[in-house]
Structure formats: structure tokens, C-alpha cells
Structure 1
Amino acid sequence: MSGPEWCLVETFGLKPPTLVGLGSRPRSMVPLDKFFARSRTSLAMAHRALEHVTAAAQPYDVTTSAGRRCLAHPLSAYDGQVNGAWLWLGGPGDAGPAVPHDIAGAWYFNLSSFEVAGSDELLDLYRQPMEQRRTKRAMGEAFTRLTAGPDASEALAKIVQSVPGTEHQAIWTVVCDDGARRAAHFSCRALAHDTQDGPQIVLHGITHDIGPADDVPQAPHLAVLERRVLDAAAESGTHRAIVDVRTGRIIQWVDSPPSSIDWAVPGIDIFHPDDAEVVHNLNRLVDGAVTRSIRLRGTDTEWTAVNVTSQPMLLDNSTTAALWTIDMNSSGS
């Protein structure tokens, strides 16, 4: 290292921890033994610190007999798992970091239940007011602040495929609740978990605020997926969403979601239980665009009947989602 900078390290699991950020500069999951190749002492100190924070989920602050100080600040999502840590290793005589570390937040996407959750640090990054914070959200809500880059289709395909061990890194733009636009580098890996509800695939991640979006050339200014795949603007009274064909659950809203539909309850189907077979047939995607009437959870009424048109949306060469167009003009028909 050129100097004692803060290191952002992921501890997702399946593999040894890797470096995903150095100061405010993203790194591509660099193995720690490679990063600390010139100092076995630093490597050993880093491993001890990471073992402590992942086991105890508590900060670590140790000064060796040689006067070297090691700090580690864990990053935990609301599920309690430590997804990573900020790590600082000073040389003899270095009292502490010259600058504080950036904001970075831990999160998870449960790809089996379509629940997502972040951490207090992630919501600080979003600048979300305290009174609006929740520990769990529906997956579709997680994308409402994000402007995706050219990798958007690849990222969604990995969500649909839900393969343990899958990794992804990218720089996207976060539109904060106060309107600020921040460049965010995220890193994630999918893991299989045995739970009381059976086997589940969970995507564990860290989002790192690397500066104002206008100052970071890689930060996208337009929603690339929407611009490339969805040429026409939505008609008045219709709302489009990208939907997982297996479950009928919303992955991402393309347009603003309808205010009269209660779609944001985590882990709960948006459609009436008796319409499950209709949704299954709607998402078979064998005949091109198909339109069916289904009942969706309402905000003013328990169920609202609407027409939904489903058509295939190719995310990559082997992964297809459904693009739903929900016609609120047909509500109640």
C-alpha cells in the first residue's frame, strides 16, 4: 500500500475474504494474500481482525507490541450476518486514520422469498429519514432508487437464475431521498442457506458510496435497461414491471408503480391466491404477448381486478423474465 488507507473487505462466505474497495476506489474482489503479498504480518493482522468482526459483529481495535494499530468496523445487514468490514492497518507511529472511511452499507436479497433488507449505513447512504426506515422490503422496492448501468440485464439475469456462488460487481447511480445523485459501487455473492422454511438462496452484498455521480465517469445517468429494451413510454393508466416467471413476483418496476396496488409487502404475493394458475399460464411465455384478468392486492380495497399483459423479456441468451403491463384503466372490470 502507498499509505495506510481504509480497505473495504467482503466476508460474504464460500470464499476467503477479498478486497472490494481501497479508500474511495473500487477493487475487483482482490484476494487478501495478493493485496498484502509484501507483508505477511499485515496479512495475519487483517485475518485476525476479520475473524473477530465476523464472529462477534463488533469493532476491533488492537495495537501490537511493535506499535502497529489495526482497526476493523463490521458491516452487518438486518439479518445479522457480517457482509464485510472497513479495515485499517497503520505502521509504527501511525496513531490512527487520517480521514474517516466512506459510507458503505450491507444488504441482502433473498432470491427465494423476494425479501430484501439493508443496514442502517445503507439507509444513511440513501439519506432516508429515520421515520421511514424498515428492516425488510419487497425486492421491487429496492430498485426504485437505482439507475442501472449497461450491466443491468446481466444483474437481473443472475437474480432470476439464483445460482449459489454467483458474483456481481458494478457501479450504479443512487438517487438519494433528498435528490442527491451518488455513484455507488456494489459487490455481491449468492449463497445457499438452510432455514426453517427450507433451502433458500440469498444474495449478500455491500454498497460503497464512492462520490457524487457527476464526478464518476462510470456512474450511469440514464436507466440503460429501460432505454434499450423498452422503447415506448407507458400509456396513461398502465404500469410496467419486470416479473420473475417462476413466482410471479416483481423484480423491478419500469414505470412508477400504481398507488392503488399494495405491491410492497415483503414475501407476500401481489396476486390473489386463487389466481395462481392464471399467473402461471400468463408467464408461460410460449405465445408471445398474453393478456389475462387477475386480482391484485389493493390499497383501498382488498383486491382489485385488472388486465395484465405479459410478454417475454430476454435478459441474456439463456434467461427470460416476463414484462407485465398492468392496465389500471380496466380496474374493477
Structure 2
Amino acid sequence: MARDWLLVETLGNEPAVVALGRKLRNLVPITAFLRRNPHLAAIRTAIAESAQTGQSLVSITPKNGRVIRTEPVLMSDGRMHGVHVWSGPPNVEPPDRPIPGPLKWDLTLGVATDTPQSLANNGKNPEVEDTDGRAFAENWPSRELKPNESKVLALAVKPEPGQTLCTTWDATDWQGNPIRVSFVARNAIEPGPDGRDHIVARGMNWRAEPTEPTDHLAQRILHGLAQPGVHRALLDLNTWTLLKWLDEPCPFYDWRRSARNAPRVHPDDEPRLAAMSAEFTDGAAATAVLRMPGDGDTWVPVHVTVIRVELEEQTFAGLVSVRLPTGAELAEAGLSTA
């Protein structure tokens, strides 16, 4: 076995390797990854026992005296997401372990659940960030658009049971430092809090090895088209779930409230929202002034423009631009300027 820790995902039918040390591996079955390892059976037994008990284990193989160490990766709801495993001689200490962070996305509700470790790995400050009831857009770096993010966004927009994803992206942490994060997820059907079946993505993240920064044309174009006072984002056109901010997150309405199962717009504006949906289905940009959640129980008029963009083949999202409306736009919408 390699000298690095193996991160093994245990949510599928067979344990699968997703990382060697900090290096991403694409859900390789443990039997294939360690097919030439004479201790494969003992390692599989150790993984199974640690996954079943939720405990760290240390065992010794009977013939060659190899030490096998395991560390479980347990989600906050008690579900086992994976096991870290290392094997080596008894007189050798294992290398430092990159700590995985378990996480969960309810793709039906559009709500994310993190853990302190997954937040830290993702560059957030776990001392101030909530772990439960998070909007999807809180888990994505704003003002950055990476080439490999489209697959993750497409998984959120068009989820299906059994989908898996292994990817790595570059980001900036809450202190402004460049970081690299690897991520694995698997979709499955689970009972939701409302008693219905939900599609839930469970996964793990960890800090990957840093690389030299690269210049992306799409990122430079995105920044070049930025306008003062306008905040752009990607959203799910089916549920109007906010997926990712492309500019600084909007400060004048409470976009996080939707993750708390609250209305995304004022109930009286639902017809306008439905009309917008019909417009961009035909390929045109849709525009309206909608009352969005404000502080407490208040509502804030927001000028909203949405166009449809293709993330992956036949998988679409909405590119939304929001700003404060002018007095004329408020009057046209029949809303007070006070």
C-alpha cells in the first residue's frame, strides 16, 4: 500500500478510493486500487469495521505484522461518508492526514448542510459560518468562475439518483489566500423532512495540493462586464434556487432566507415570476421588478433580469442580474417609492 493515507468513500455499493494523500482519485473500487496488495482483505475488513462502528481503529495483520489505521468520516446526522485508511510497518508513523470534511446537499429543497471541517476546507471561517440551512450560493466562491465548476452546477440543476462527481477547483479563502479544494459527491434518494423522497448529494471535501494560478479568459470577460450596483448570479430555473454569485453577493436583500424554506418573492409577485419563466423559455431575456426578502419580515423591490444559459449539454441555468430599481420602474410596477 502507498505510504499516504487513502480516502475511501463508503456511500456506494463498494468502497471506492477518492484520494491518495491530497491527490484526487475518481472513485476507484478499493479492490481494483489495491489489487496487488497482499493485505487487501485485512484492509477491507478494517474499513468495514470502522464504517460500521464509527470508531478509529488500529489493527495488525497476523502474518507480516503490518499496522492498519482507520479514521471514519462521519456526517453530523450520523451517516458514514467515508473512511481514511493507512497501512505500514509498526515502527513507521503515518504521514500527516489531510482532514476530510463531510457535507450534504438536499437538491430537492436547495439547502446545504456543512460541518466545521467542510467549511474550513472550503475556505470559510467555521467560527462564524452556520453549518445547517445554508443556501447553495454560500458554498461557492463569489466573483470567480472556474472551468470545472459547470459540472457541479449542472448536477445541482439536473440531479438524478446515482450521479457521482469528483472534481477539484481553485478558490480564495476568507482571509484572501488562494486555496485548492477537491470534492466528491454521490446522489441518492432519501426521505425528506416533509415525508417525500428527496434527491440528496452526500460527499466529502479536502484541501488539495496547490498549483500555479492560471489565467482564464471566461473569468476576465466576466470581470470586464461587471457594472457598479449590479449583482450577477446563476440560479436553477426550475426552483429559482440561487446557485452561485458571479459578483459580490447582493447586500440589499436577504438571499439566504430561501434556504430557510421561506418564499423567494412576495406572494403577490408570483404571477410576475411565472410570466418571467414563460419569457426565458422562448429564449428571450425576462425582466421584472420583484419584491424580495429583506430584513426580518420586510420586502425589498429589486429589478431582476434573467436569461437562460447552458451549463452542460441540455442542462440550463439562469444568469440573473439584480439591482435596485429606479423610481420610474417602481411606478411602472405599481410599487411605492417610499
- TM-score (ref. length: structure 1): 0.87
Residue in structure 2 matching 1:157, options 150, 154, 157: 154
* SS in structure 2 of the partner of residue 283 of structure 1: helix
Residue 308 of structure 2: aligned partner: 312
The aligned amino acid for 1:254 is L
- Could you list the runs of 5+ residues in structure 1 that have no partner in the other structure? none
Whether 1:251 aligns to 2:243 is yes
The aligned amino acid for 2:268 is D
* SS in structure 2 of the partner of residue 264 of structure 1: helix
Question: Cα distance, 1:119 vs. partner?
Answer: 1.9
Check the 8 A contact 1:194/1:200 in 2, yes or no. Answer: yes
Change (3 A) 1:124 1:96: same
Residue 333 of structure 2: aligned partner: none
Question: In the aligned structure 1, how far is the partner of 2:126 from the partner of 2:184?
Answer: 25
The aligned amino acid for 2:235 is V
Question: Cα distance, 1:255 vs. partner?
Answer: 1.1
Question: In the aligned structure 2, how far is the partner of 1:130 from the partner of 1:242?
Answer: 25
Residue 255 of structure 2: aligned partner: 263
Residue 121 of structure 1: aligned partner: 117
Whether 1:275 aligns to 2:275 is no
1:70-85, aligned counterparts within 5 Å? 70-85=68-83
Whether 1:23 aligns to 2:21 is yes
Q: How many percent identity over aligned positions?
A: 27
Question: In the aligned structure 2, how far is the partner of 1:130 from the partner of 1:245?
Answer: 30
The aligned amino acid for 2:272 is V
1:97-108, aligned counterparts within 5 Å? 97=94, 99-108=95-104
Question: Cα distance, 1:317 vs. partner?
Answer: 2.3
Question: Cα distance, 1:301 vs. partner?
Answer: 6.6
Question: In the aligned structure 2, how far is the partner of 1:146 from the partner of 1:29?
Answer: 30
Question: Cα distance, 1:322 vs. partner?
Answer: 1.3
Question: In the aligned structure 1, how far is the partner of 2:275 from the partner of 2:224?
Answer: 26
Check the 8 A contact 2:149/2:169 in 1, yes or no. Answer: no
Question: Cα distance, 1:293 vs. partner?
Answer: 1.8
1:148-297, aligned counterparts within 5 Å? 148-197=145-194, 198-212=196-210, 216-217=211-212, 226-227=219-220, 230=222, 233-265=225-257, 266-268=259-261, 269-284=263-278, 285-287=280-282, 288-297=284-293
Residue 36 of structure 2: aligned partner: 38
Question: In the aligned structure 1, how far is the partner of 2:148 from the partner of 2:88?
Answer: 37
Q: Which stretches of structure 1, 4 residues or more, deviate above 6 A after TM superposition?
A: none
* SS in structure 1 of the partner of residue 153 of structure 2: helix
The aligned amino acid for 1:258 is C
Question: Cα distance, 1:101 vs. partner?
Answer: 1.1
Question: In the aligned structure 2, how far is the partner of 1:153 from the partner of 1:36?
Answer: 32
Question: In the aligned structure 2, how far is the partner of 1:316 from the partner of 1:238?
Answer: 26
Residue 8 of structure 1: aligned partner: 7
Question: Cα distance, 1:279 vs. partner?
Answer: 2.0
Q: CA RMSD in A?
A: 2.5
Change (3 A) 1:256 1:231: closer
After superposition, the C-alpha distances for 1:42-72 in whole angstroms (9 at most, x for unaligned) are: 2222322222333332222223434222111
Change (3 A) 1:138 1:21: same
Question: In the aligned structure 1, how far is the partner of 2:32 from the partner of 2:125?
Answer: 40
Larger mean CA deviation between 180-189 and 123-132 belongs to: 123-132
Question: In the aligned structure 1, how far is the partner of 2:142 from the partner of 2:50?
Answer: 30
Question: Cα distance, 1:297 vs. partner?
Answer: 0.5
Question: Cα distance, 1:120 vs. partner?
Answer: 2.3
Residue in structure 2 matching 1:65, options 29, 41, 62: 62
Check the 8 A contact 2:165/2:185 in 1, yes or no. Answer: yes
Question: In the aligned structure 1, how far is the partner of 2:305 from the partner of 2:26?
Answer: 40
- Could you list the runs of 5+ residues in structure 2 that have no partner in the other structure? 331-335
Question: In the aligned structure 1, how far is the partner of 2:220 from the partner of 2:105?
Answer: 25
- TM-score (ref. length: structure 2): 0.86
Question: Cα distance, 1:157 vs. partner?
Answer: 1.5
* SS in structure 1 of the partner of residue 255 of structure 2: coil
> How many residues were matched structurally?
322
Check the 8 A contact 2:122/2:205 in 1, yes or no. Answer: no
Question: In the aligned structure 2, how far is the partner of 1:127 from the partner of 1:312?
Answer: 30
Question: In the aligned structure 1, how far is the partner of 2:228 from the partner of 2:24?
Answer: 41
